[in-house]
């Protein structure tokens, strides 16, 4: 069996697990790859840190770029992370030096994946990034190869485990966002600086990557509409449940529309609604496949290294090809069809003064915009003289409802900014 020589850049949680898997399961993985998989060099900050395995007869570098100079290395596994900086530098130079790259770096791929993939083509090597999206779900391969014969119209998913954990926990324990976030940070489910997760950026990275592959378009990360869960209120989580919905941070990309990361209410009988805890989910709709959904762990050392190893084996066996399924030059420019106005139902919560005539005033505004109410809850009178008016609408455009809501918020009886959340059911994904 010929030898396939590996350099690993970054021995954090995922890097260490990947190295451990290759070292301790070398026989099985090599048999699967048809080549003798051998780590010949690694790069990390601290050589002596105990990672649970021994790096013997392996070159060790503090500077990851040294891996590129290593003539024998066939593939560099980049697990440093970061949109630009050293990781991007390493990947570019590795590809230019004719080395394959396997990476879990979603920020880098969301921003530079197309240019890196082009660079790989020019140098007759490949860059693979299954681990950049939902590690435990082979989402990239499913879209790129498993559904290659389809015209995909929609990709939707729960793409950030931290947000899903927080929202699930707020639902099950009726806690506030802040309390659950702190608990998640203590347990290690959320970062000390959680903004990439809770502001939807991490989910947006994954959605951008999936969109390019699904639609065969050069999706620009800057085109995404991104919002997170930082302002979610326990009240909305509670009302969502009362109305038969789950509140989720959803990524949704429709062909020729702006891809968005948004809080959404999902009917509780939908599969996506029952994806709880730190799980991720990716669903697809296309022709002729109709639709399917995959659910699994999105992060963590095990699931992420599973994705890295799959790419490594594909690269070693020669089954890895164009990262987006076709040469980058064959992908279309991104299209945004402004006339393709999608309509959907909405959830609207308004804090109002508890006085006669308020409901009639708000109803009149909704009527003026031809917005029709599907259901409504008004809670019992509170001590401070305010009540919540919670309603769901029938389908309407985003523009109409937003205009109506800004008019509503001008009313002297409205005490706070109304909360507007779209409702997505599987029909919306079409």
Q: Which residues are catalytic?
A: 206
Q: Does 199 bind a copy of itself (CB under 8 A)?
A: no
Write out the H or E segment, with its range, that includes residue 423. strand 419-423
User: Contact, 98 vs 67, CB < 8 A?
Assistant: no
Calpha distance 191→44 (Å, rounded): 21
- Part of the chain binding a copy of itself (CB under 8 A), chosen from 171-179, 314-322, 346-354, 407-415: 314-322
User: Contact, 261 vs 200, CB < 8 A?
Assistant: yes
| Residue position matching structure tokens 């030059």 | 329
Nearer Cβ to a copy of itself (319/377):
319
Among 9, 94, 137, 419, binds a copy of itself (CB under 8 A): 137
Question: Cβ-count burial of 287 within 10 angstroms (0-12 exposed, 13-18 middle, 19+ buried)?
Answer: exposed
Site residues for a copy of itself, window 316-335 (CB under 8 A)? 317-319, 321, 325-326, 330
Binding pattern to a copy of itself, positions 211-240, x when CB under 8 A?
Answer: -----x------------------------
Binding pattern to a copy of itself, positions 286-305, x when CB under 8 A?
Answer: xxxxxxxxxxxx--xxxx-x
- Part of the chain binding a copy of itself (CB under 8 A), chosen from 27-35, 235-243, 371-379, 382-390: 27-35
- Part of the chain binding a copy of itself (CB under 8 A), chosen from 24-32, 63-71, 190-198, 255-263: 24-32
User: Contact, 350 vs 235, CB < 8 A?
Assistant: no
DSSP notation for 314-350: HHHHT----TTSS-GGGSEEP---TT---EEEEEEEE
Calpha distance 114→102 (Å, rounded): 15
Q: Does 141 bind a copy of itself (CB under 8 A)?
A: yes
Q: Does 406 bind a copy of itself (CB under 8 A)?
A: no
Q: Does 41 bind a copy of itself (CB under 8 A)?
A: no
User: Contact, 23 vs 90, CB < 8 A?
Assistant: no
Beta bridge partners of 287: 151
Angstrom distances, CA of residue 161 to CA of 136, 206, 234, 424: 12, 12, 19, 19
Q: How far is the CB of 104 from a copy of itself (least distance, A)?
A: 13
Q: How far is the CB of 187 from a copy of itself (least distance, A)?
A: 17
Nearer Cβ to a copy of itself (150/375):
150
User: Which residues sit at the interface with a copy of itself, rule CB under 8 A?
Assistant: 17, 21, 25, 28-29, 31-32, 34, 130, 135-138, 141-142, 145-151, 216, 269, 271, 274, 286-297, 300-303, 305-306, 308-310, 312-314, 317-319, 321, 325-326, 330
């Amino acid at each position: 069996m010929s030898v396939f020589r590996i350099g690993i850049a970054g021995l954090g949680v995922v890097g260490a697990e990947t190295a451990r898997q290759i070292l301790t399961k070398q026989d099985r993985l090599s048999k699967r790859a048809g080549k003798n998989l051998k780590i010949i060099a690694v790069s990390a900050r601290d050589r002596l840190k105990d990672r649970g395995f021994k790096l013997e007869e392996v070159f060790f570098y503090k500077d990851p770029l040294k891996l590129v100079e290593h003539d024998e290395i066939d593939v560099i596994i980049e697990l440093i992370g970061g949109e630009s900086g050293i990781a991007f530098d390493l990947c570019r130079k590795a590809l230019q030096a004719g080395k394959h790259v396997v990476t879990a770096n979603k920020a880098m791929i969301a921003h530079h994946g197309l240019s890196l993939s082009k660079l790989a083509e020019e140098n007759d090597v490949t860059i693979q990034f299954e681990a950049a999206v939902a590690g435990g779900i082979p989402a990239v391969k499913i879209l790129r190869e498993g559904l290659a014969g389809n015209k995909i119209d929609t990709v939707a998913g729960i793409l950030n485990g931290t947000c899903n954990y927080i929202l699930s926990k707020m639902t099950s324990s009726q806690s506030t966002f802040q309390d659950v976030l702190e608990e998640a940070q203590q347990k290690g489910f959320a970062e000390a600086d959680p903004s990439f997760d809770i502001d939807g950026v991490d989910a947006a990275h994954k959605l951008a990557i999936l969109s390019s592959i699904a639609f065969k378009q050069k999706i620009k990360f800057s085109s995404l509409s991104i919002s997170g869960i930082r302002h979610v209120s326990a009240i909305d989580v509670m009302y969502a449940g009362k109305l038969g919905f789950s509140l989720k941070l959803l990524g949704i990309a429709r062909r020729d529309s702006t891809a968005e990361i948004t809080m959404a209410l999902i009917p509780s009988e939908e599969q996506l609604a029952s994806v709880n805890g730190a799980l991720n989910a990716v669903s697809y709709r296309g022709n002729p496949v109709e639709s399917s959904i995959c659910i699994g762990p999105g992060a963590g050392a095990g699931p992420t290294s599973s994705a890295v190893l799959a790419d490594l084996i594909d690269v070693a066996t020669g089954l890895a090809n164009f990262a987006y399924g076709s040469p980058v030059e064959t992908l279309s420019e991104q299209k945004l069809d402004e006339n393709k106005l999608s309509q959907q139902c909405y959830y609207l919560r308004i804090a109002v003064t508890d006085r006669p005539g308020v409901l009639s005033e708000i109803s009149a505004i909704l009527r003026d915009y031809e917005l029709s109410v599907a259901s409504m809850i008004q809670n019992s009178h509170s001590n401070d003289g305010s009540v919540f008016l919670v309603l769901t609408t029938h389908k309407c455009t985003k523009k109409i409802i937003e205009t109506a809501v800004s008019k509503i918020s001008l009313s002297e009886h409205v005490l706070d900014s109304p909360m507007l959340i779209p409702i997505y059911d599987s029909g919306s994904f079409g």
